[in-house]
Amino acid sequence: MTLSGAMKTRRTIVAQTFLALLLFVGGDGSAAERFYLSIPGPSLSYAHMFYGQEKGFFLEEGLDLQVLVVRGQIGISSLLSGEIDVSCHAGSGFVAALRGLPLKVISVVRDRPHSELIVAPSIHSPADLKGKPVAVGSLEGTAAVMTRRVLQAKGLDPQKDVLTLSTENTAVRYQSLLTGKVAGAMLIPPLTHLALEQGFKLFGRARDHMRYMQTGVVSTDAKIKQKRGASCAFFARGIGP
């Protein structure tokens, strides 16, 4: 991807996510409303959230955005219990919706995951990974699904050949890999690049083996009905990428 193409993609991500959030927020000039959102981790995909907080973009639209970093299952559970308003765990939200839970995927930016399975320098072939621990998120979460697909594509049985370990988040997986606690970990940029620079190896890219929503916005039917009323005027302004 060219530099201009990458910048266009980032602008699209910012615009789509911002518009999706504003489905729930009125622009009537009243005091900023506290609004909770969960993300999988502090990756580049969500950098615009923190940038918007710092620059006051969300406050200008009456939104006091609070970004929480949690695992996918926790994010969806918090969403269903009403503790948060929206979640960027699009993959986990989609799976939950397929199971009949009252969730809606509001927007999707990427349908191919950018996660990569990174392994220790001592791993030279798939056989070297047998019997070794591999770090994912929750055992039924997106990272675990992607890891299983990559392992299967390499001729390994995810249930028998490796020990899959549940970890808190991507940063913990990265540290576990650096300290040698695990032989492999499913990581996202920029941690993938940092690991490769330190001599770790790319074992497989998730996007080569599956399509899966990884960047998007999810909410419950109840929240959508409760907080979308005043958004029409904002969309009428023609805000876009």
For residue range 134-191, list pLDDT tens digits in order.
Answer: 999 888 777 898 999 999 999 999 999 999 999 878 889 999 999 999 999 999 888 9
User: Could you read off the pLDDT of 96-129 as tens digits, one per residue?
Assistant: 888 899 998 888 877 788 899 999 999 999 999 9
In terms of residue numbers, what domain contains 174?
A: 116-208
Tokens 């970093």 — which residue?
Answer: 69
Q: Is 165 within a domain?
A: yes
Do 16 and 129 lie in one domain? The reply is: no
Q: Is 129 within a domain?
A: yes
Do 137 and 177 lie in one domain? The reply is: yes
Q: Is 62 within a domain?
A: yes
Is the model's pLDDT at 46 over the cut of 60? yes
Tokens 């994010």 — which residue?
Answer: 75
Higher-scoring residue by pLDDT: 2, 145: 145
Do 202 and 230 lie in one domain? The reply is: no
Do 192 and 218 lie in one domain? The reply is: no
Q: Is 241 within a domain?
A: no
Do 16 and 106 lie in one domain? The reply is: yes
Mean pLDDT over 21-32 rounds to 54
Q: Is 231 within a domain?
A: yes
Do 220 and 198 lie in one domain? The reply is: no
Do 137 and 94 lie in one domain? The reply is: no
The CATH number assigned to the domain holding 16 equals 3.40.190.10
Is the model's pLDDT at 225 over the cut of 60? yes
Most confident range (mean pLDDT) of 21-35, 87-101, 178-192, 221-235 is 178-192
H-state helical runs in 22-141: 47-55, 57-60, 72-81, 90-98
Higher-scoring residue by pLDDT: 130, 231: 130
Do 59 and 141 lie in one domain? The reply is: no
Instruction: Output the pLDDT for position 215.
Output: 74
Instruction: Output the pLDDT for position 18.
Output: 52
Q: Is 240 within a domain?
A: no
CA dihedral 216, 218, 224, 229 (to 10 degrees): -20
Cβ contacts of 102 within 8 Å, gap of 6 or more = 80, 220, 221, 222
Residue 110's H or E segment, with its range, is: strand 103-110
Is the model's pLDDT at 9 over the cut of 60? no
Do 85 and 144 lie in one domain? The reply is: no
Do 91 and 73 lie in one domain? The reply is: yes
Q: Is 123 within a domain?
A: yes
Q: Is 50 within a domain?
A: yes
Q: What is the mean pLDDT of the chain?
A: 80
Domain total of the chain: 2
Rounded alpha-carbon distances, angstroms, from residue 204 to 111, 126, 216, 241: 17, 10, 23, 32
Tokens 């308003």 — which residue?
Answer: 85
Do 40 and 139 lie in one domain? The reply is: no
Do 7 and 95 lie in one domain? The reply is: yes
Is there a contact between 42 and 215 (Cβ–Cβ < 8 Å)? no
How many Cα atoms sit within 13 Å of 97 on the Cβ side?
A: 15
Cα–Cα distance measured from residue 160 to residue 184, given in angstroms and rounded to the nearest whole number? 16
